[in-house]
Amino acid sequence: MKLTSPENVKKIMSKGGFRFKKSLGQNFLIDEDVLAKTIEASEVTKEIGVIEIGPGIGTLTQALSEKAGKVVAIELDREIAAYLKKAFVAYGNVEIIQGDALKMDLEEVIEQHFANMPTVVVANLPYYITTPLIMKFLEDTPKIDSVTVMIQKEVADRMVAKPSTSEYGALSVAVQYYSTPKIITTVSPQSFMPPPKVTSAVIRLDIKNHTRPFVKNEKKFFKVVKAAFSQKRKTLANSLSSQYSVPKEQLKSLIYEVCGSDNVRAEDLGIKEFVKISENLQ
């Protein structure tokens, strides 16, 4: 059954007695072109295992199961998860797990289901938890090779943003520290049922082929980045001095040494500069 057809989505919803749950970010994909572009960007093959977060009625799941070795789809909605378990039995390579993806140990899921298979994430994410989910993939799940997801365009723009732009912030630094992000395509609200309020984008984060900058102490590095962007309009020296008990003059001379000026703001620094500041801050 073609799941991108609005008529079929309505049929499945009414036959199952389901209603679209706004609180769970249920906006189902009804755009064949966006589906094809997402699958293509994910580069899945029969050798690869896929984790999908929030399969909904299974539109992406169905397309993924044709290309991937195995798909493990995690759905929070109990009714929909029960429906999916029956609907995908015949596919043979799809496993449905009911639960909250944010609370799940994804390393354990990978170990249990993908043994020695390379693993990627492909999903149309529930937008109310986009950032914590992405950070969970990047920070807590080292075995994930890439992440190809549909998210709010505004968040995707922040993830790929370069220094000295208005979108650049702590999220850009974190995502670009762990991966090479690339926006694949933008997606209009009309590509979903019901349409969300915002424009979306498909973004791919390449983790496996990304070289991370060398950082001695990651915790310290991210603390500095967070402190630097906590008061975006202040100079870096002022933002850092409100969080670190280092004399202001000392901070200024470190910033001058790294940036060639002590009058810079957090948004002017690239990842390498943040690394240098954090390595030299006591």
Binding residues (CB under 6 A) for ligand SAM: these are: 24-29, 53-56, 59-60, 74-77, 100-102, 124, 126, 129
Cα separation, 46 vs 181, in Å, equals: 24
Nearest to ligand SAM by Cβ — which residue? 54
Query: 192 with 28: CB under 8 angstroms?
Result: yes
What tokens does 265 get? Answer: 């703001």
In angstroms, give the least distance from the CB of 155 to ligand SAM. Answer: 13
DSSP assignment string, 71-86: EEEEE--HHHHHHHHH
Cβ 27 to ligand SAM shortest distance, Å: 5
Question: Judged by CB, which is closer to ligand SAM: 55, or 169?
Answer: 55
Minimum distance from residue 103 beta carbon to ligand SAM (Å): 8
Nearer to ligand SAM by Cβ, of 6 and 213: the residue is: 6
For ligand SAM, give the closer residue by CB, 121 or 271: 121
**212: phi then psi, degrees, rounded to nearest 5:** -75, 145
- SS3 for 201? strand
Nearer to ligand SAM, 49 or 55 (CB): 55
9 vs 275, beta carbon nearer ligand SAM: 9
CB of 59 to ligand SAM, least distance (A): 4
> What secondary structure does DSSP assign to 99-163, as a single string?
S-TTTS-HHHHHHHHHTTS-EEEEEE--GGGHHHHHHIIIII-TTEEEEEEEEEHHHHHHHHPPT
AA identity, residue 149? V
Least distance (Å) from ligand SAM to the CB of residue 187?
11
